[in-house]
Structure 1
Amino acid sequence: MAPPFSLLLPLFLFVFLQSCRLSTSALPSLAKRASLSVENPDDVLVSPSGAFSAGFFPVGVNAYSFAVWFSDPPCSGAKCTPVWMANRQAPVNGRRSTFSLLLSGNLVLTDAGDAAPVVWSSGTSSPSAAELRLNDTGNLVLTDDSGVVLWQSFDSPTDTLLPQQPLTRNTFLISARSRYNCSTGFYKLYFDNNNVLCLVFDGPSISSVYWPVPWATYYDQGRFSYSSSRIAVLDPLGRFQSSDSYALYTSDYGVAAMQRRMTLDFDGNLRVYSREPGSTSWAVTWEAISSVPCFIHGLCGNNSLCSYDPAKGRSCSCLPGYVPKVPGDWSAGCVPDFTFSDGCVADEIRFVKLLYVEFDGYDYNVIFNTTLEKCRQTCLSLCDCRGFQYSRWGSGGTFNCFPKIELLNGHNLPSFTGEFFLKVPKNKTFTEDQLVKRTQYTCSPSPEVKVLDRSKNGGMSFMLWFACVVGGIEIVVVFLVWFFLIRNQQEVTSAHQTYLHAATGFKRFTYGELKKATRNFSKEIGRGAGGIVYKAILPDDRVSAVKVLSNATTGEADFLSEASTIGRVNHMNLIEMWGYCAEGKHRLLVYEFMEHGSLAQNLSSPELHWKRRFDIAVGTARGLAYLHEECLEWVLHCDVKPQNILLDSNYQPKVADFGLSKLMDRGKVKNSDFSRIRGTRGYMAPDWVSNLPITSKVDVYSYGIVMLEMVTGISPTTSIHSLESGGDAKQVRLIPWARNKMKELGRTGSLLEEVVDPAFKGDYDPKKMEILIEVALKCVEDDKNARPTMSQVVEMLLRHENDG
């Protein structure tokens, strides 16, 4: 007998509800009028490959944030690694909180029901259909029905950058408050007003930049402060590039199948973490501050010292005479356990000397080249002076005085050779241990030296015999050591190259590797006086360009020295060198591959419209300005021409072959005098034949020629048929022709079209075109002193671009 339907109905309802519940797990997207509930663990958005998930993430007891986290391999709760949070400052309740996409197109996060205020909102609206999806890059994206992005999490990072997520002038990273507190902390990564990427401690009462180090100039640290683009990106292979010319490579750079993230940790250090597929543990593959962790500001608060022990890590302690302000919270610093009746009464004050202690910043003033007594009297006369630092400036330099109005960013530094004097009451006493604050790095004691007793002849004979035996053994040992050192020299060199590659991404290739990568040098993509360029696929699947140098006669040591120098040059408008080969007579350079080839190959292309040509002019000038003025080593290009200006996938220019002349004839350049003429006919400055010192102005001249060719469409090696005022025809060269045309333009109001390449078809900005031609003509003056520098060229072009 079949059971009655009334008995089967509850079973059907149960199965139906379970199927509905299962269908809500691993949601591909969130549509309008749909919500995710904090009470349903299955309400989670998952990226197509399952690499990332988005949903409610536990941040405390009955406290949740809406977050994106790594979900491959699968994880649960606090064991997952979050990469973005919507409401890190205001966690929501574990009951009745929802994340919804409203009919208006706005994303909202509400706390404990509809009556509660909105905790977070995307602030978006869309009359058409909208949808929220999580991409495999970890980007949570809200789009309308036509695919237009209305909002995305990549535009508002918290403490983490993912590969391909840009850090821009409008975005920044802020650390978490502590290891177990996800709310905003005191450390920030951002682009400052000088266009430089910085780390800053932004505490409750004070703020200070600690990376790049404040005591050195941007130039000395390889930073470029003139690029206002302000963008930085970590790529999937482990390379981080910033528009201020800062670049880093992770220790596992080039390994493609890795999960990576750049996180500003709660301790103020910026780190890149990597892990292999399937692994649950992260490894630090780069960090901004590794040698002296105590250089990070704000770690220990006022009136305290940061100490570092490689075995125990960092620790904080109060200065002598000070006690913790909030026990257990070193960020609150320390306060004195003494009082002054008046901080300016000399009879009540003394100074105690602290060894190996340094404080960074917060000087009342700096008194150069002074005595210790004058420094002491200065601090004594200032009521708010807490102490003073007396240290030598440079090796063998003068002593300088730094009176401190605040004792912040203090640390024990065993290498610090200066002295710090702390202001305390006269009646305050301290032990020796309190005053000597130094991290100890002790060595094992030396063995005791025993004196021979010369009165015992038998013992003496034995010792002489023993000494002969020991001497013979030493000779054998020295020979064996010498033999193994010679034998292992190649292995040591290889190990050094491996380390160099891990640290910088700059690799030494074997000739066999490059022969295989180029398929036996089968696909030629360029040729010049320096050598032939071939397309190659490297072992890590990167597409590259390999240049086989044809005239490199330098020795291996000199070649490696120059190659490493060029490899360290890094700018967004300079071609990036990935490695080299120096094997036997072979000298090869490995560069990044440029999709659109050279400017010479594109001069007649309709894809090279006016906007792109102007960008090429600015970008090329920036790259050359960096070589001339920003490089740690002065570099002249000596062969600027359209063939050496390459174009990437977005037609952005990258100057190639810079420094190649140094590789060709290292040692033949003295005091800016070159042993032979360099360059290409038509683009060479007259300086080369004038017997005057060669300077960066030869590159300025060549740049001007290239710009004239780019806007007129006329090669500098051809003659132009021109009519004089009397009607007689004659042949003229590009520079005098262009100069006369521009004079006519100013004198008679002639049309600019007579100068500009007809391929433009009138589609350009006349004002900017005129400025570009005028700047180019300034660059090609016969007198090198009349030519501008490349940085001045950049300034002139950008000033007029902004005016436009």
Structure 2
Amino acid sequence: MAALFHILLFLAIHFQVSSSTSDTLNKGSSLSVEKPDDVLTSLDGVFTAGFHQVGNNSFCFAIWFTEKSDHYKNRTIVWMANRDQPVNGKHSKLSLLKTGDLILTDAGQSNVWSTSTTSVTPTSLSLQNSGNLVLINSENVILWQSFDFPTDTLLPSQLLTRNTIVVSMRSPSNYSSGFYKLFFDDDNLLRLLFDGLEVSSVYWFEPWLTGRSAGRSTDNSSRVAVMDSLGKFTSTDKYNLTASDYGAALQRRLTVDCDGNVRLRSRAKPGENWVVTGQIFQDPCKIHGVCGPNSVCSYEPSTGRKCSCLPGYKMSNHTDWYYGCEPEFDYTCSRNESSFFKLSKLEFFGYDYGYFTNYTFMQCEELCLRLCNCKGFQYSRIPSLSTYSCYPKTVLLNGYRSPSFFGDIYLRVPKIHLSSYGLPQEEYSLSCLNKMVELDRTYEKSRVSGLVKFLLWFACGLGGFEIICILLVLGLITRKRRDPNEDKYGKYGYHLAATGFKRFRYAELNNATKGFSEEIGRGAAGVVYKAVLADRRVAAIKMLNETNQGEGQFLAEANTIGRVNHMNLIEMWGYCSEGKHRLLVYEYMEHGSLAQKLASNELDWEKRFEIALGTAKGLAYLHEECLEWVLHCDVKPQNILLDSNYQPKVADFGLSKLVNRDDLKNWSFSKIRGTRGYIAPEWVYNLPITSKVDVYSYGVVVLEMVTGKNPLKPDVDAIDGEQRRLIMWVREKLLNGTSASDIEARIGEVIDPSFRGVYDVKKMAILLEVALRCVEEDRDARPTMSQVVEMLVQLDKDQEH
């Protein structure tokens, strides 16, 4: 008995104690967050890997330069495994499994991060003298290495490739991912991107330059950049950044800092301060997004960078300049209530409604007043020319004051407040954020002994088994008493839901459609049939094409869509899922689809305006208001149905793409969705898919409604036989106008001839403006669907007054 006790005690100690070595972690071992000495140290002592505190009881597994003082606030972090998902300060650990997978688990034993590697031979994790954390098997094959997954830092010999991105920290004390990214673009050129809270833009090298004019070369396909140990950063596109102390044997690092600048730093030995020996930007105001929207950046070498709000605006968030400023006034779209306030030598880069050359000041002012979303206009000239150009601004971002700028900005403001805009605005010193991460990482350690736990679990298990047996017996008794006409889904197939959402039997829908004999529509996802249900309601039954989607996923998504309720969305009454059959049951629309009515010229301009407004409301609800956000992914006239009063209802959104609100950055699609002629450029260029793809498709639909032209057909007015797309044709027709009468005439050239000249010019002009904004190539320049609704509703209100 004593021998057995000693064996059990040995096993308990063996499995509970984490083990670490100086530079290597072997399979079956782990590093504990609760043991500060559980670290890996490179053989030369320069680098250390272990748990680093990033907030209140919050830790990340990281690599840092070894310091004389090991306090976490003195560390210079060069890599993190879980920068956006810190773990608890109790019972979290990094473990190297016998399967070859390196995993980081939180206190609740959840898998926070892993290398997702496997190996049939023994593996080990080692921290090399270069600062590279390497997972290698016994055959010296590298399974994973930290150099392939940089955070905000590159070390000497660490490659930046086509597959890696360096992302800034959020602030000096907030290690989570920030807004600035260094990466290789698809044209083989190294670039910097501002990926902000609402917009994104490339700010280096200058977006208006080509590779050749910027001194870059696209004649490479390797896309590699690296910093050597002497202090020179080189790229395959011929970009070079050399440290001022080049040649000395020092500790070095290159970082994308939280203010968007890329800097080289060096120091002679641990404990010394890091010295900036090179940086891309000498003027930090040239970096996009540094002061947020509706603000101005100014820079003096002696005082540094400063931010200030535009006249009439105030800070949105007093702890974070990246949120910018917000208006203190109620924005008005009425031209009679608007005026302009001049700000000299001030430039706002990007987000123009258009670029209009050789415009007079009055023409530029008139153009901005006509545009509801115009926040102001920039009126400037190129130094070598005597003519001025007009840039109406839809967003006031990247404001920069420069004495050498040949132009001014004219801020659109309400007339009643114009006299108060001349007051000086308060300026604030701007540095990166300095706010500690505060995360709730509480953990209550159980004080119950193992034996007591075992007895409790055994008792619960025995009791649970008895309950299951009782329920099975009761179920058999109840089943015998059931109505023989009831099926496995409950009486008449109804779910126990207050909404009346129903699960139909396949045989029931087969009878309702008379064997699926009356087809009323067809699309890529399936065929739609007319049906009369048992309760005499007329329905539309959509039989989905065969899919690999499992029944569980189909049922979950169908139930979610069943809870979506909006007057401009088609109502789904139920579904069927039996074997390979997947069917959706919708309400029936008397007037069919918008495509059918456009083809027959049955809709006047008033109906089309109301259809555009109603469709926008339905899409805005899907994007922003329902329980789970839904991307439609196939907005087109065929999927906009009309009821007996010609009210639009967006259809075929049922199983398009449900989006978890907590996972907005990870929307993924296995293939292009949509219909040719209506799909956004993001699908073609393999860019991240957001709700803006629906906005683009909506814009094409509105252009089709207003012009009566199908985007898939050649333009009958093409010049020299060139077939131009509908968007290009409309934009060319409208943007050449100058005076109000000229613009009105040009609108008449693109309006559907079936109107026979009878339409509201202002409403049609706004519809065209909205449509052209929605079909911008840059998704960040497009409005959201809720903003579209606001513009159209505001127009109705203005006309009522």
TM-score (norm 2): 0.50
Task: Provide the C-alpha distance between the structure 2 equivalents of 1:252 and 1:261, rounded to a whole number of angstroms.
Answer: 13
Aligned position for 2:273: 281
* Shift, 1:278, TM fit: 3.9
Indicate yes or no: 2:412 matched with 1:423. yes
Task: Provide the C-alpha distance between the structure 2 equivalents of 1:312 and 1:194, rounded to a whole number of angstroms.
Answer: 38
Task: Provide the C-alpha distance between the structure 2 equivalents of 1:333 and 1:424, rounded to a whole number of angstroms.
Answer: 18
Task: Provide the C-alpha distance between the structure 2 equivalents of 1:100 and 1:362, rounded to a whole number of angstroms.
Answer: 48
Aligned position for 1:298: 289
Task: Provide the C-alpha distance between the structure 1 equivalents of 2:309 and 2:69, rounded to a whole number of angstroms.
Answer: 44
* Shift, 1:72, TM fit: 4.9
Aligned position for 2:374: 385
Aligned position for 1:65: 60
Sort the Cα spacing of 1:283 and 1:53 in 2 relative to 1 into closer, same or farther, 3 A.
same
Picking from 139, 144, 152, the partner of 2:132 is: 139
Q: Is the 8 A contact 1:160 1:264 kept in 2?
A: yes
Q: Is the 8 A contact 1:414 1:438 kept in 2?
A: no
- Amino acid corresponding to residue 339 of structure 1 in structure 2: D
Aligned position for 1:375: 364
Aligned position for 1:229: 222
What secondary structure sits across from 1:379 in the alignment?
Answer: helix
Indicate yes or no: 2:197 matched with 1:204. yes
Task: Provide the C-alpha distance between the structure 2 equivalents of 1:208 and 1:218, rounded to a whole number of angstroms.
Answer: 17
Task: Provide the C-alpha distance between the structure 2 equivalents of 1:434 and 1:356, rounded to a whole number of angstroms.
Answer: 17
- Amino acid corresponding to residue 48 of structure 2 in structure 1: S
Q: Is the 8 A contact 1:59 1:78 kept in 2?
A: no
* Shift, 1:117, TM fit: 0.8
Larger radius of gyration: 1
What secondary structure sits across from 1:78 in the alignment?
Answer: helix
Q: Is the 8 A contact 1:271 1:288 kept in 2?
A: yes
Task: Provide the C-alpha distance between the structure 2 equivalents of 1:326 and 1:432, rounded to a whole number of angstroms.
Answer: 21
CA offsets, 1:692-722, max 9 Å, x none? Answer: xxxxxxxxxxxxxxxxxxxxxxxxxxxxxxx
Indicate yes or no: 2:25 matched with 1:36. no
What secondary structure sits across from 2:36 in the alignment?
Answer: coil
* Shift, 1:438, TM fit: 11
- Amino acid corresponding to residue 149 of structure 2 in structure 1: S
Indicate yes or no: 2:314 matched with 1:319. no
* Shift, 1:24, TM fit: 6.3
Q: Is the 8 A contact 1:143 1:151 kept in 2?
A: yes
Sort the Cα spacing of 1:278 and 1:89 in 2 relative to 1 into closer, same or farther, 3 A.
closer
Task: Provide the C-alpha distance between the structure 2 equivalents of 1:326 and 1:304, rounded to a whole number of angstroms.
Answer: 13
- Amino acid corresponding to residue 144 of structure 2 in structure 1: W
* Shift, 1:312, TM fit: 2.8
What secondary structure sits across from 2:322 in the alignment?
Answer: helix
What secondary structure sits across from 2:350 in the alignment?
Answer: coil
* Shift, 1:427, TM fit: 1.0
Task: Provide the C-alpha distance between the structure 2 equivalents of 1:285 and 1:347, rounded to a whole number of angstroms.
Answer: 55
Q: Is the 8 A contact 1:412 1:437 kept in 2?
A: no
Task: Provide the C-alpha distance between the structure 1 equivalents of 2:419 and 2:193, rounded to a whole number of angstroms.
Answer: 35
* Shift, 1:400, TM fit: 1.0
What secondary structure sits across from 2:366 in the alignment?
Answer: helix
Task: Provide the C-alpha distance between the structure 1 equivalents of 2:65 and 2:344, rounded to a whole number of angstroms.
Answer: 47
- Amino acid corresponding to residue 428 of structure 1 in structure 2: H
Aligned position for 1:83: 78
Aligned position for 1:347: 336
- Amino acid corresponding to residue 285 of structure 1 in structure 2: T
- Amino acid corresponding to residue 143 of structure 1 in structure 2: I
Task: Provide the C-alpha distance between the structure 2 equivalents of 1:430 and 1:197, rounded to a whole number of angstroms.
Answer: 47
Task: Provide the C-alpha distance between the structure 2 equivalents of 1:77 and 1:329, rounded to a whole number of angstroms.
Answer: 25
Sort the Cα spacing of 1:39 and 1:55 in 2 relative to 1 into closer, same or farther, 3 A.
same
Sort the Cα spacing of 1:225 and 1:346 in 2 relative to 1 into closer, same or farther, 3 A.
same
Q: Which ranges of structure 1 fall in alignment gaps of 5 or more residues?
A: 1-12, 440-804
Aligned position for 1:95: 90
Indicate yes or no: 2:50 matched with 1:55. yes
- Amino acid corresponding to residue 396 of structure 2 in structure 1: L
Q: Which has the higher contact order (CA 8 A, sep 6+)?
A: 2
Aligned position for 2:506: none
Q: Is the 8 A contact 2:83 2:177 kept in 1?
A: yes
Q: Is the 8 A contact 1:68 1:82 kept in 2?
A: yes
What secondary structure sits across from 2:290 in the alignment?
Answer: coil
Sort the Cα spacing of 1:416 and 1:431 in 2 relative to 1 into closer, same or farther, 3 A.
farther
Task: Provide the C-alpha distance between the structure 2 equivalents of 1:362 and 1:313, rounded to a whole number of angstroms.
Answer: 27
Aligned counterparts, 1:400-419, within 5 A: 400-419=389-408
Q: Is the 8 A contact 1:357 1:437 kept in 2?
A: no
Aligned position for 2:257: 265
Task: Provide the C-alpha distance between the structure 2 equivalents of 1:280 and 1:26, rounded to a whole number of angstroms.
Answer: 28
Task: Provide the C-alpha distance between the structure 2 equivalents of 1:293 and 1:163, rounded to a whole number of angstroms.
Answer: 25
CA offsets, 1:320-342, max 9 Å, x none? Answer: 111122222221111111124x4
Q: Is the 8 A contact 2:168 2:181 kept in 1?
A: yes
- Amino acid corresponding to residue 207 of structure 1 in structure 2: S
What secondary structure sits across from 1:218 in the alignment?
Answer: coil
Task: Provide the C-alpha distance between the structure 1 equivalents of 2:87 and 2:34, rounded to a whole number of angstroms.
Answer: 12
Aligned counterparts, 1:560-579, within 5 A: none
What secondary structure sits across from 1:151 in the alignment?
Answer: strand
Q: Is the 8 A contact 2:126 2:133 kept in 1?
A: yes
* Shift, 1:293, TM fit: 0.8
Indicate yes or no: 2:165 matched with 1:172. yes
Task: Provide the C-alpha distance between the structure 1 equivalents of 2:344 and 2:44, rounded to a whole number of angstroms.
Answer: 57
Task: Provide the C-alpha distance between the structure 2 equivalents of 1:433 and 1:310, rounded to a whole number of angstroms.
Answer: 27
What secondary structure sits across from 1:394 in the alignment?
Answer: coil
* Shift, 1:155, TM fit: 0.4
Equivalenced residues, count: 415
* Shift, 1:213, TM fit: 1.2
Q: Is the 8 A contact 1:353 1:435 kept in 2?
A: no
Task: Provide the C-alpha distance between the structure 2 equivalents of 1:400 and 1:436, rounded to a whole number of angstroms.
Answer: 28
Picking from 240, 246, 261, the partner of 1:253 is: 246
Q: Is the 8 A contact 1:258 1:274 kept in 2?
A: yes
- Amino acid corresponding to residue 297 of structure 1 in structure 2: H
Q: Is the 8 A contact 2:382 2:406 kept in 1?
A: no
Task: Provide the C-alpha distance between the structure 2 equivalents of 1:414 and 1:95, rounded to a whole number of angstroms.
Answer: 56
Task: Provide the C-alpha distance between the structure 2 equivalents of 1:179 and 1:51, rounded to a whole number of angstroms.
Answer: 22
Task: Provide the C-alpha distance between the structure 2 equivalents of 1:26 and 1:131, rounded to a whole number of angstroms.
Answer: 11
CA offsets, 1:665-693, max 9 Å, x none? Answer: xxxxxxxxxxxxxxxxxxxxxxxxxxxxx
What secondary structure sits across from 2:363 in the alignment?
Answer: helix
* Shift, 1:127, TM fit: 0.9
What secondary structure sits across from 1:427 in the alignment?
Answer: helix
Task: Provide the C-alpha distance between the structure 2 equivalents of 1:36 and 1:45, rounded to a whole number of angstroms.
Answer: 9
Alignment identity in percent?
A: 51
Task: Provide the C-alpha distance between the structure 1 equivalents of 2:423 and 2:262, rounded to a whole number of angstroms.
Answer: 33
Q: Which ranges of structure 2 fall in alignment gaps of 5 or more residues?
A: 1-8, 429-801
* Shift, 1:27, TM fit: 1.9
Q: Is the 8 A contact 2:67 2:75 kept in 1?
A: no
Task: Provide the C-alpha distance between the structure 2 equivalents of 1:317 and 1:436, rounded to a whole number of angstroms.
Answer: 7
Sort the Cα spacing of 1:278 and 1:179 in 2 relative to 1 into closer, same or farther, 3 A.
closer
* Shift, 1:373, TM fit: 1.5
Aligned position for 1:365: 354
Task: Provide the C-alpha distance between the structure 2 equivalents of 1:226 and 1:306, rounded to a whole number of angstroms.
Answer: 36
TM-score (norm 1): 0.50
Deviates more, 1:430-439 or 1:65-74: 430-439
